[in-house]
Structure 1
């Protein structure tokens, strides 16, 4: 603010011609006094005024004028034995304010090249001090690439391409950075040479095969963005030369291919993972391209301005497509458009986000659309393009088309079609209002970014299937016990337990059948009705189980806390059954009618099975919210019951029984789902393991407590087996322990909820 007022005062002095002493009275030979401020952020607001009151040299311009001369200097380098040695290094002539590459590559601890800035201090143009810097040496390939960036010979692109082709070494972060510097120096040259196109694409192809961690480090110093931007800018300006028949494009080899269709106004440049299409619509009305797969190869097909979106989307095995409708192309021609350039990247390696937590990631090709000669990138009409939704997995959400802004993927100005029909189709139709690079994005959770691996998924599947099998077996034996022994099934507590077991049995059996059968594999993206039915049934059964667990939790609270004065209403078991079996219908139908799209298949690739289950708001409000509230309520009840029993009955002899009661309630009331909620909110993969280990064993634990560890039921089964062996030849078998059962069942099994 002070500097701004200073600037206003100086301006008034100049305009009014006042003789008031100026802010800085500087003789020409003392201009250095003003240049001392070159390091200030707000330099452009400083005024240097001569003795006559006239504005002298503009300090802002002076601070960015001139060069630092080439210089040899000494640097410390680490050696293999962790000691250091002094080497002579060199920087070439560099403009003020810019950084120079060192002739002998100097790497920091992350493997990024250290450069030296030309700056102004005390009115002099000097090199930045590099005292107290210790360099790490670079491998031979990195040093060779760096020398090309330093010397910038006329054929540097050709030399770089040969260097990368001949070398078997993987690129390091320093190499990506040096390549971006070479591309930058190439773009600075005024002329464009079509002969280097093949080398440029082969170099980009090499960088695209670099591992993600290396590219992430390179992105921190903007190397990937710089490389991508300069590569695209150079190609966009080649259109007029590309369409000339006498233009020579070198390196038409196995790594790089050129297809010229001059009669149709199309030139195609291809590497294995990068394709560039130059299109002149004036010849054959071609305004777009479609890329589709045929076997293991990728082929293309020209699209015309009179094609329809339905016809393009119907192309078999379509991967990527874009075309300009006739109305849009006419408007763009009037704005100066002459030809089109489409670039298709089969992987997103050059589009590196530096955010720690990624929200969405590309799952399709990336298509870059540019129209040279068009200054305004905002389009007068929406531009349709098509992308394939690929490599989806179980943790995806929030799918949609997006564009790259050289920092992250955004979606403003882009719409994902809703009627050809929705983002769950294998080929996604998008519309853009501006030009840039586009892709199809799917949301990712922390598990997708490295916390849960495919090996973890396989292990969790095994744990889940084993637990489900044991639980189903245990529940079956509970039903069998109730069917055989009348004294067990006649108890009120047993009737409540059997309702819970029935709901749990249906839920587990339904899930196990779906996971082990090929039913889901037979579904496709158009089977929305069948998928909705399957998802609604799964949702309903889960909510029924939780309804019964909540009812049992309330009854257990009455039994152990409100021991005296508890009177149950008449027919309370029937009323509980009506509530537990009908109330879950409400949220299920709400999701079915209000959010039917949430049931649509969320997976669409050959690698993963389609999952029919609520997603989005349907999952959050129709499943997670109710089971979360019930789980929290039951957890509080278990804690309160355990504390009440502890205070009332604590003795050393009853510690194990109190612990057993806690474990029973923990499984009986579904507290294990706390682990599931923690896993859903990405608190760590340990909760996924805990959830699969405990929740799937609920039925088996009920079997252990009510059948195996229950002495009366033990005696009943032992007595039945003994009687069958003794009197197997008799037509009528009497059970000698029936009197015992009548007397003992009323005391032991009362612990579930004889309320």
Structure 2
């Protein structure tokens, strides 16, 4: 019930009385809110599912309140604008512009079921990433001035005013002429047992340098320079105090000694990343030593504590070669040669690859793709287009090679986040490749690189579709404006039916067909050989054009390009917890340059794997880089599709599949730890030695027995 509604009751004497009534209604699906920063439109987006079950304060209300942490003791209520609403699928999209500097945002609402609170995660975002944020943990008891220590008052405004004044005075003296101060805020105050005060001060600043690097690399020089300047300022501000400076986005490099006395250093890393060492440090279990960079909006970032001493051992030759390759700048000068070298190493050392090798390969691919895609002028040239095609082909080859290595190595590599990096880089490369407007018009360069490729490129010029066929991935780039094609369907080959494509690997017994935006699901699911189908309906394509100013980047506000990837299995999609089983192929859909959140859902139809019970209850879920999630995905219980086929309605873009949740009781499959990789090999050797010993001992006993019988026979004779 909403508060603006009126309920009236008629009594026996026909007198109107105001009354309040309550109707108990059960929600079919829970109310969910998802908050994300969309990189293409540079806006903060909140998606509300089943919004009809949210408490509404007044009729034009958008049902949720948006907050940002302004400063110590103050929450700011941010405005939100309703962009569109789809009542049929009960979800809305709300967009609000973020402030110029970093702020922490979250959304809250209450359901009509016992007024339960529903909230999003807290997300730290910035609109213009041209400044660096720092946190100062400071136990200032007094402010130093004219060789005197003046008692510091509790008022946070005084601290901020004096700190700003000090920085301004130093800038006038030109000791900080390169220093730009944007914002100073006290975010938290801590009290100790001995009445000391610890202030958490947030400082947003930058250097007067150019910010034209779009490769995603961390500007280590600027960070270090600002840290040094902040140290100087704080020492002058209060000489009798102690302070700790942290970054708001990164963990600073940290030195430490390993057990063998070798000095090493953790490289600067972003929040949430596993930081690696400058020198290659391989532990006894063949895993590379890493540390997690963690933190929050109020206290800055820091490295996790060491749980045990670090012992670095000598790495194998393959790991050393890959590490040396990653440290060079070859990925900038010749990305094709780098990927070709990586492919050659994987082919030659396929059976000997270890988790650190997979991590290094993923890092090399990530750096190569980011570096080349950030070079927009080169990317748009004829040579750049050819280079992209070669990079694309090599990425296909590398993915196919990695998808066929030992599963145990892949599972341990996932603990280093290597598989997520690999999938993310491949997805990014595929999307970037599809945005090169004239790459289809250029013939594949017939060089050594092209001749060694195991992939097949097919271009259907009349309908505007490009296809890349490989062993473990099928790639489709579709321009719907040419022939109204907006999707694909896969079918099993029928001996009585002629097929025009020859697919490879796990797709060898299948063929694809193209779907148009005005197709009906019943048009293709009735085919007994149907495997999967996905397309963007006409209503969605029209909505994308109507909302292109809000959903697309300035360079992508023309007709969209649809990119579809079909992954044959989930070997590289490693879950953090082994509680879900894949019952279908993985299908990834993207619209390069457009927001990943859509105003109208599109259908994905999947046939469940026949090796499992097709009637087993499951749901359509999306890959959230580490786990399968179901936000924004609907799996209708009743549909017109056939048995064994699942219909998914999707409202955002990412890899999807049909998933069954269950418990895995097999310890070996569900809980693979780091030591197990080599312990199992040791166990096998021990068991083999025991068996050989038993065989020798048995042979010895048999020989003694025969000798005893032989001696008895001699005595008898």
TM-score by length of 2: 0.49
From the two aligned structures, give the one with the greater helix fraction. Answer: 1
Higher strand proportion: 2
TM-score, length of structure 1 as denominator length: 0.47
